[in-house]
Structure 1
Amino acid sequence: MAPRSCPCGLPTPYQDCCGRFHRGEAAAATAEQLMRSRFSAFAKGDEAYLLRTWHPSARPARLGPDRKMRWVRLEVLESTGGSVVHAEGTVRFRAHYVERGRVGEQEEHSRFVRYDGRWVYAGAL
């Protein structure tokens, strides 16, 4: 049986895609890569990774993910900046979920910045 594709939407197995970021083996090279890895962390329930990749000025003390919500699909709609040569960038995305048997979606335009040399989530625009 072939490994399942990563929750972030790329056709790469989770272990080789966002899993390496979650395990701390690599850091996201772009803002979009970080956003995708954060979506995968929500899908996998990896609260520690989400908190590690949140800018300290806006980071909550804890998340306490909703176990009744399952994140199922991600669409990246647009990104600006956020490359290996930028210090900040934005990603607009639509995240699809199922909550108590009902499908839903959340659209957000997120801001990412470099902090201590790594990309972090700085909040919604």
Structure 2
Amino acid sequence: MNCPCDSQRLYKNCCAIAHHQIKDVNTAQQLMRSRYSAFVMSDIDYLQRSHHSSQRPSRKEARDIKKWTQSVDWIKLEILQTNDGLEKDVTGTVEFKAYFMENGRVEVIQEHSRFCKENGHWVYLDSLV
């Protein structure tokens, strides 16, 4: 199957690598793409693992996120800009648009996300306002 993150690669050669072993994620953009794929696949365990421990959603919030991810039809991910977040960096940002269909309408989440390394691997920290 093609990877949901729109990388033009097969899932097994793309986000599946991150989903099976988060320590194999080399860049903030790779983590962003793997998190988008996790939303598409309702892989809440991965979303929790890839979230900074200080900001991680509660179990109830995670259940609500799972329910929501299953209620929408994901369309595509568009990466707008990446700053830092390379293999040797410890922080980085990725601005993106995630398109999905909800209640018969195309919706878009646009976010400028901050990422950092925690315990030696990339995690999502928060969104810049």
Q: Normalising by structure 2, what TM-score?
A: 0.89
Q: SS at the partner of 2:9?
A: coil
Q: What do the CA deviations read for 1:65-106 (whole angstroms, capped 9, x no partner)?
A: 212112220000001010011010000000000112221111
Counting aligned pairs with the same residue, the percent is 42
Q: SS at the partner of 2:24?
A: coil
- What is the 5 A alignment of 1:1-125? 4-24=1-21, 27-62=24-59, 63-64=62-63, 65=66, 66=68, 67-125=70-128
Give the length in aligned residue pairs: 122
Structure 1: runs of 5 or more not aligned = none
Structure 2: runs of 5 or more not aligned = none
Cα distance change of structure 1 residues 25 and 52 upon mapping to structure 2, 3 Å threshold: closer
CA distance in 2, matches of 1:25, 1:80: 21
Deviates more, 1:47-56 or 1:97-106: 97-106
CA RMSD of aligned residues (A): 1.3
Instruction: Report how far residue 25 of structure 1 moved.
Output: 7.4
